[in-house]
Amino acid sequence: MLIRLLVVVLLVLVFWLGTRNMKIVPSRGQVMFEFITGFVRDNIIIGTLGEKDGKRFMSVLMTIFFVTLGMNITGIIPGLQIAGTSVIGLPLIMALVAYFLFIYAGIRRHGLRFFKNALILPGVPIALTPFLALLEFLSTFILRPITLTLRLLMNMVAGHMLLVLCFAATDFFFFTVLKDGNFLGLLGVGTFAFGIAFTLLEMFVAALQAYVITILAAIYIQMALAEEH
Amino acid sequence: MLNAFVAQAAQATPSLLIPQLPDLIWGSIAFAIVLVFFTWKVVPRLNAALDARRDAIEGGIKRAEEAQAGAQEALEQYNTQLAEARTAAAGIRDQAREDAKRIRAELVEQAQADAARVLTSAQAQIEAERQSAFVSLRAEVGAIAIDLASGVIGESLNDKRSNDIVDRFLADLEVSEAAAAKAKA
């Protein structure tokens, strides 16, 4: 929980400083800051939802992105070494936020017709309609939050496990096997190299998962807002 | 430390999918803090900055386009005016040429008329003077001739007769002169 607190403080601090003095002609730092926020804003949010709806849901989606990114990246920061998202609480919360967000968006736009649109597909034979409605219900209203949660959680847990495995093995090889005079302990070099490689991979996965959860949330909202299927 | 993590991970594994209450509470709080902050500060600031920049760029482009359109318009206007001026100049030149031609013709005509009139009046005057000179000369020549004849014959001639004689003489003279002129011609 301390890690989360730290991430929250850091996020608030970075974004407070980053947006404190934004100019039309940006400084170097502002360009870097805008490169990241602009990517989330334009490519993920506005690219999926369009300018108008994008701005409506922007703060929530940006929060999801940067909380996920911040919490993910702690998995490889020395001294923290565990991702804030590798415990189910936070992924679940964000999945639920995305879940209620797209239901809210759909109801705001279409009223109760939203559920009908979501469940009953046009151009399907009448005999199949109930069956497909059941499937759609499962995929849209049950599986979406679960997959959102588990995708993020499991990526982070697996990454964490891999890193733990690599570094624990390195530790074991160097300080147990090699100390006993067994040269098999030099395998520790290999596991250490793998650990570094997986650290880099984790860095990538951290950003990727933040991207994935945000764009999926945006797409769910966009599908809910769309007129018909 | 790493062993501790392994131990922790091993402990956590059975309950991986079942959320703990503190986990949920703190996760929610963390998310909520960031969400509030983003909604309150970051996104409005970001949007404001980006919109301001877009406005600035669009405004700049728009202003440039307007300036260009203005310049184009001015150029067209100038060209139109130039063409108009050229047409007007050509018109004025033609008009002047025609005027000059007309004035010259009028002057020539006037001069010719004047000359003709002067000539006519001069001829008339000459004719009249000649006529009067002729008449007075005739009378004088007659009187002189009569005086001369009176002197020669020693007596005054009858007025009526002398005049007749003089006239006849002069008529004869004229006839002979005319004949001489005709022969000369």
- Asked whether residue B2 is assigned to any structural domain, the reply reads no
pTM: 0.65
| Mean pLDDT of all residues in A9-27 | 78
Q: Who among A11, A18, A89 is closest to B34 (CB)?
A: A11
Binding-face residues of B in 4-23 toward A, CB within 8 A: 5-6, 9, 12, 16-20, 22-23
Q: Provide, as residue numbers in chain A, all residues whose Cβ is less than 8 Å from the Cβ of B52.
A: 24
- Please state, rounded to an integer, the average pLDDT across all residues of chain A: 84
pLDDT tier at B120 (50, 70, 90 boundaries)? very high
Give DSSP secondary structure letters for chain A: -HHHHHHHHHHHHHHHHHHHT--SS--HHHHHHHHHHHIIIIIIIIHHH-HHHHHHHHHHHHHHHHHHHHHHHGGGSTTT-S-GGGSTHHHHHHHHHHHHHHHHHHHHHHTTHHHHHHHS-TT--TTTHHHHHHHHHIIIIIIHHHHHHHHHHHHHHHHHHHHHHHHHHHHHIIIIITTTT-GGGGHHHHHHHHHHHHHHHHHHHHHHHHHHHHHHHHHHHHHHHSS--
Does residue B12 sit within a domain?
no
Count of domains for chain A: 1
Is residue A204 in a domain? yes
Nearest neighbour of B35 by CB, restricted to A59, A90, A157? A59
Q: Which domain holds residue B155?
A: 20-184
Out of A11-15, A107-111, B84-88, B149-153, pick the least confident: B149-153
Q: What is the pLDDT of residue B8?
A: 60
Cβ <8 Å between B50 and A41: yes
| Nearest CB to B2 within list A12, A62, A167 | A167
Q: Is residue B13 part of a domain?
A: no
Does the pLDDT value for residue B2 go beyond 60? no
Q: Mark yes or no for CB contact B2/A168 under 8 Å.
A: yes
Q: Do A94 and B31 touch (CB under 8 A)?
A: yes
Q: Let me know if residue B76 belongs to a domain.
A: yes
First-to-last alpha carbon distance for chain B, in angstroms, is 163
Whole-number pLDDT of residue A228: 57
Structure tokens at B46: 């970001």
| Mean predicted lDDT score pLDDT of chain B | 83
Tell me what pLDDT residue B83 has.
Answer: 95
Query: Distance between alpha carbon A27 and the CA centroid of its chain, in Å?
Result: 29
Structure tokens at B140: 């004088």
Range of the domain at A67: 2-15+28-225
Residue A109 predicted with pLDDT over 60? yes
Q: Which of B14-18, B99-103, B145-149 has the lowest mean pLDDT?
A: B14-18
Average pLDDT of span A129-134: 85
Work out the average pLDDT over A74-92.
80
What pLDDT, on the 0 to 100 scale, is given for residue B32?
86
**Closest-CA distance of chain B to residue A152, Å:** 12
ipTM, two decimals, is 0.77
A203-209: long-range contacts, CB 8 A cutoff, minimum separation 24: A203/A73, A203/A76, A205/A72, A205/A155, A205/A156, A205/A159, A206/A69, A206/A72, A206/A73, A206/A75, A206/A76, A206/A83, A206/A156, A207/A69, A207/A72, A207/A73, A209/A68, A209/A72, A209/A85, A209/A151, A209/A152, A209/A155, A209/A156
Report the alpha-carbon distance of residue B10 to residue A157 in Å, rounded: 12
Which residue from A minimizes the CA distance to B7? A164
| The pLDDT of residue A115 is above 90 | no
In-domain check, residue B83: yes
Is A162 part of the contact surface with chain B (CB cutoff 8 Å)? no
Q: Cβ–Cβ of A171/B41 closer than 8 Å? A: no
Is A20 domain-assigned? no
> Looking at residues B74-86, what average pLDDT do you find?
95
Residue A22 domain flag? no
Give the mean model confidence (pLDDT) for residues A7-36: 79
What average pLDDT does the segment B154-179 reach?
A: 76
Residue B19 with chain A: CB contacts under 8 Å = 88-89, 92
